[in-house]
Structure formats: structure tokens, C-alpha cells
Structure 1
Amino acid sequence: MITVENLSFTYPSAPSPALQGLNFSLEDGEILGFLGPSGAGKSTTQKILIRLLQGYEGRAEVLGREVRRWDKSLYEQVGVSFELPNHYARLTALENLRHFAAFYRGRTVDPHRVLDWVGLSDAANERAGALSKGMKVRLNLARACMHRPRLLFLDEPTSGLDPVNTRLVMALVRRLREDGTTVLVTTHNMSLADQLCDRVAFIVDGQIALIDAPDSLKRRHGAGQVRLKQAGSPARQFPLDGLGENQAFLDALRTGGTIESLQSEQTTLDDIFIEVTGKTLHAGDDPLQSAASRAGSSTQSEDR
């Protein structure tokens, strides 16, 4: 679906390249997360792949064709949802979708149905300029997928959304994938990427530092732990591997006090990103300080 080899790009008058020898691929039916701090090269890569930036070096192939060889017909097969809302403010949500639907030669999904997909049915007749940021983000997504694209680019698709609508958007993206859409997500949100993406790529300073499935990364870069808290005793941790044969753990269950909590803990993608790149996803953060401040609280826990 996408093949990128040795991709490089430098903005005019920039002191250094925005992209330096980027290599990755996106397979048909896959959801790939592009993760990195601001200025890492995520948006530059996306802009090249959707023909908004010219003058790149290397290979950038989309839907089996080099980007340089595509014309505007690319947009019949590609959808793009930008982070910043870009609607006609004086038109209603419904009028915006009808307007943009007219640009496509092929069939589009009924605008009322698309608004329902993103939870905006009740706002169909509200002016886009009066919508909240989160509603505008969802309207962006509705516009990007109304023509059933083969390839969907999402830039911070849950920015400004509450937990309920974040789950709604993730469910929609999964459903689109099941219907045949391939998805590239650019985000700072490690939790979103962990839950949604088949693979994630860590991009820093215009280069990909690591790319793999989230579960594979967590297994490779951190051993799972089980945290046991019993009445009258401090919490204890045991390795998840071989837990059923761990005699100290079994003895604690048999002879210890009443179990107050039993939790599994796993290394997060944030921790792995810092370990691999020495950077955080937020400008100005100190990696060591950030890691230390999250110790004991940044792990993903599930009560048993």
C-alpha cells in the first residue's frame, strides 16, 4: 500500500534535513502508527505521501505508484483527516459534507450516515464554526472517510476528544479497516497507538528508530510483573514469566494475609520510546526525570 525507501527532504533555507533516509512500508489492511515528538518528521512524511510536498529524494510509492507520477486522481482513493479543523465555518456540518462530496467522481456515503459514524447526528444542522474543537475533529474524520478510501491518513485523530468519543473514533477506524481501508496514524498519543495500531514506528530527527508491533516491543523491552498487595504487608512484585511455578508467589498466596489487590504491570510504549531514543514525546521534558516521575504510575495495570 505504501513503500518508502531512503526518503529525504529538506525545507528551503532549513539548516538540516527534516527527513534523513526514511525506510518503512505499510501493508494492505494494516493500521500503522507514526509516533514522535513535534518536529520529528511525521507531518512532513504524510505531506509527501499525499502530494503536498515536492522535491523529495528517494522512493515514495503509494497504491503501487511513485508519488511523483500521481495526479489529483490520487484523492479519489485516499482520505486525509488533518489535526487542525479546516471546514467552511458558515456552513453546517451537513452542508460541509455535501459540499465536499461533490468533488468525488465516485459514489460517496450518505452524509447523514457519516455524521452518525462520528456521533454528530444531532449537530448536523449546526454551523461548523460553532462546533467545539472535538466536534470539528470528528467532522474532519467524517469528511476523510465519506468516499470509502482505500488509504486513510489520520493526524492526531483523537485530539480534543473525551474518552467516550475517543473510543467511538477508534471503533470507527477498526471498522473501516475491516471493510478494507488501510490506515496511517500520526500521533503523540502512545495509549491510542498501543490500542489501535498493528505496528508502531518511532520517528526522531527525521529517522525511524524502531518499528514493530506494540506487544512485541513490550515483550522485548520489558519483563511483565505482577504486583501483590496483602493486608498487613507491603506490596510485593513477582516476574510474570513462570508465575505459576514461582514458589515465593505461591507461598504468599497460601500463607499471606487477605489479598487486597493483584495487578499485572507492563512496560509502556512511552517507556520504550525513551529507552530507544533518549527523548520524550513532549518538547522540553527531561527523559530521565519524566521516566522517574512516572515510575510506579506509568505502567498499564489490570486488576484481577
Structure 2
Amino acid sequence: MIDTAGAAVVVEDLRKAYGDLNAVDGVSLSVAEGEFFGILGPNGAGKTTTLEIIEGLREPDSGSVTLLGESPWPRKVSLLPRIGVQLQASSFFEKLTAREQLETFASLYGVGAARAREMLELVGLADKADTREDKLSGGQRQRLSIACALVHDPDVVFLDEPTAALDPQARRNLWDVLRAIQERGKTIVYTTHYLDEAEILCDRVAIMDRGRILAMDRPAALVRGLDAPTRVILERGLLSISDAEALPGADVVTEDEASLTISTRKPAEVLSALAERGSLAGLQVRTATLEDVFLELTGREYRA
């Protein structure tokens, strides 16, 4: 049952096919106002098609979408000022600086130049205001693209893989921008392949594969539902396999060239026993993550 109370986005039994391919196959979801909602899935899962239908960029074969109380298809001119869209591939006006890009986008919505300057501050590009877009780094261009999607102060922001191809530092900087957007009361719907990112940023996530939603909940709830064992990892040589298997609480013990791993559902017992033996040097404890949930639901085979 989809909760529609206070929802910015409501999707019910959405379907879209291309020939024999069911790109979106009965998707239903809702996104609350002010929520940070992630759509996750492997390549070809139907994430981008779902997002484009919600945005009003693509017509569904069947099902319904309500965006801020209205149907986005056929295109509603009244909705356009209330949504911001950042696509996978960003296009900018040629030979314009970052400030000029934003001022141009702002003018399309009747927004003044002051708002463009505010957005440059928000995304950390104030010092690059007079730099041409083609001279910016990949991370800076991504932040400029998000600023263009926000310059008219929309209520709902759609971001399609905003941190793709960014280095770790640029990704972390962009996380701060996304948090700042949500703190302004905006609703964010985004797709990503970075499961650690989704686990940190999202209030809820939907995991998609082959056009269907396989699971939808808060990341922590999905991880708890997996009921996966805890892995206690030791430097190789501190403990033999037989001694590790004899520890109270140890379920499965494996060893590779660098480490020995104890899988357990009673980590407190294992850690207490290791402490008594003085075998805590270099110890690591790893619990299940959203990535484990994702792989459990979608499989581990590589998809191009």
C-alpha cells in the first residue's frame, strides 16, 4: 500500500516497455516532502527510465505518477518552476563562465542574478565564478550542473548519478552540497551506483532490478532484515584456523594470504575470547552493509 499523505511524489503500477524489454515493470513508490530518496540498481535496472517518467520527460505505457499533486505528463508548464532536474549527461552554454551559466539559467525562470550568486556559494564555486565551464574539473562541473538545477528554487530535485566518475574527495564535497540542499527543505530523488553513499545520505531507498522494485525501506532497516553474520578479521598468524574454530561464538572460519576471518552471529563472545588470548592486534569488525543487501537481492554477476 503506497502512502500518499504528505507525498511529493506518488507512483502507482508504472510500466514502460521497449519492444520485448520491460524497462519499468509495475513500479509503485511514494516520496515524502523533504525526503532524500534513492533509487538503486545495477545497469539496466530501469532507474533512469523511472526517473524520466516521474520528471515528465517520458510517457509511460500505463500506471500513474503524481508530482506535487499534478500529473507530469503531458508536460505541465505549471510544474516546471517547481522541479529541478540534473541529468546523467550535463550540457552547458558554450564559452560562458560559471556565473554566466547560472545567470542564463536563472533568467529562463525570471530569477535575478543574486540567486545565481547564492547558488555558486552553496555549491562551493564562488571562487570559480569567472572561470569558463570547459575549464572546470569534473567535480566542479557536476556541482555547477546541480546549481543550475537549483537556481530557480524548486521544491523537488531529481539527480541522476550526480557523483558518477568523481574522485573520492570530489564525491565527499558533493555529499555536503546534497545535505545542504535537503536542509533547505527540498525533496531529493536520486539514482546512484555508490551504495556507501546511499547508505549515508538517503532517508529511504528502493532497490530495483529488471524493472521491478525488490525492496524499499530505510537503509538501516534493510541491513537489519538481511540478518547477515558479523565478520571479525585478524592478521594472519595471530591464530590458527583450528584455534579460531574453537572460539565460543565462531561459526565459519576462513583464511587467505593476509588475514583470518571469523564469521559469527555472536560477536561479543568472539571478541571477549580474543581479548582473553591477547589476539586483538590489527583486528577489524565488519557488519553487513547496504551493499550486502543489494548483492543478495540482485546477484553478483557482472552486467555491462
- Which band: TM-score by shorter chain? 0.7 to 0.9
User: Does structure 2 conserve the Cα–Cα contact (< 8 Å) formed by 1:134 and 1:159?
Assistant: no
Rounded Cα–Cα distance in structure 1 between residues aligned with 2:262 and 2:273: 14
Rounded Cα–Cα distance in structure 2 between residues aligned with 1:109 and 1:8: 42
Q: CA 1:108 to 1:159, structure 2 compared with 1: closer, same or farther past 3 Å?
A: farther
> 2:159: which partner in 1?
154
Matched, 1:237 2:262: yes
User: Does structure 1 conserve the Cα–Cα contact (< 8 Å) formed by 2:24 and 2:212?
Assistant: yes
> 2:20: which partner in 1?
15
What's the secondary structure of 1:185's corresponding residue? strand
Length-normalised TM-score, structure 1: 0.82
Which of residues 3, 20, 24 in structure 1 aligns to 2:10? 3
Rounded Cα–Cα distance in structure 2 between residues aligned with 1:139 and 1:6: 35
Cα offset, 1:202, TM superposition: 1.2
> 1:118: which partner in 2?
123
Rounded Cα–Cα distance in structure 2 between residues aligned with 1:207 and 1:119: 37
> 1:67: which partner in 2?
72
> 2:85: which partner in 1?
80
Which of residues 136, 150, 158 in structure 2 aligns to 1:131? 136
Cα offset, 1:249, TM superposition: 3.6
What is the identity percentage for the equivalent residue pairs of Structure 1 and Structure 2?
34
User: Does structure 1 conserve the Cα–Cα contact (< 8 Å) formed by 2:158 and 2:190?
Assistant: yes
Matched, 1:273 2:298: no
User: Does structure 2 conserve the Cα–Cα contact (< 8 Å) formed by 1:82 and 1:155?
Assistant: yes
Q: How does 1:119-198 map to 2 (within 5 A)?
A: 119-198=124-203
Matched, 1:221 2:241: no
Rounded Cα–Cα distance in structure 2 between residues aligned with 1:225 and 1:270: 14
User: Does structure 2 conserve the Cα–Cα contact (< 8 Å) formed by 1:223 and 1:267?
Assistant: yes
User: Does structure 2 conserve the Cα–Cα contact (< 8 Å) formed by 1:35 and 1:187?
Assistant: yes
| Residue identity matched to 2:221 | S
Length-normalised TM-score, structure 2: 0.82
Q: CA 1:92 to 1:249, structure 2 compared with 1: closer, same or farther past 3 Å?
A: closer
Cα offset, 1:216, TM superposition: 1.1
Cα offset, 1:251, TM superposition: 3.4
User: Does structure 2 conserve the Cα–Cα contact (< 8 Å) formed by 1:224 and 1:264?
Assistant: no
| Residue identity matched to 2:139 | G
Cα offset, 1:135, TM superposition: 2.1
Q: CA 1:99 to 1:107, structure 2 compared with 1: closer, same or farther past 3 Å?
A: closer
What's the secondary structure of 1:72's corresponding residue? coil
Matched, 1:252 2:270: no
Q: CA 1:122 to 1:68, structure 2 compared with 1: closer, same or farther past 3 Å?
A: same
Cα offset, 1:136, TM superposition: 1.5
Gaps of 5+ in 2: 1-7, 241-259
User: Does structure 1 conserve the Cα–Cα contact (< 8 Å) formed by 2:11 and 2:29?
Assistant: yes
What's the secondary structure of 1:68's corresponding residue? coil
Q: CA 1:211 to 1:110, structure 2 compared with 1: closer, same or farther past 3 Å?
A: same
Rounded Cα–Cα distance in structure 2 between residues aligned with 1:109 and 1:185: 27
| Residue identity matched to 2:142 | V
Q: CA RMSD in A?
A: 2.4
Q: CA 1:208 to 1:236, structure 2 compared with 1: closer, same or farther past 3 Å?
A: closer
Cα offset, 1:184, TM superposition: 0.6
Cα offset, 1:175, TM superposition: 2.0
| Residue identity matched to 1:8 | R
> 1:48: which partner in 2?
53
Once the two structures are superposed, residues 142-165 of structure 1 have per-residue CA deviations (whole angstroms, 9 ceiling, x without a partner) of 111222221110111112322222
Q: CA 1:107 to 1:131, structure 2 compared with 1: closer, same or farther past 3 Å?
A: closer
Q: Aligned residues, how many?
A: 277
Cα offset, 1:83, TM superposition: 1.8
| Residue identity matched to 1:223 | A
Q: CA 1:239 to 1:48, structure 2 compared with 1: closer, same or farther past 3 Å?
A: same
Cα offset, 1:279, TM superposition: 5.2
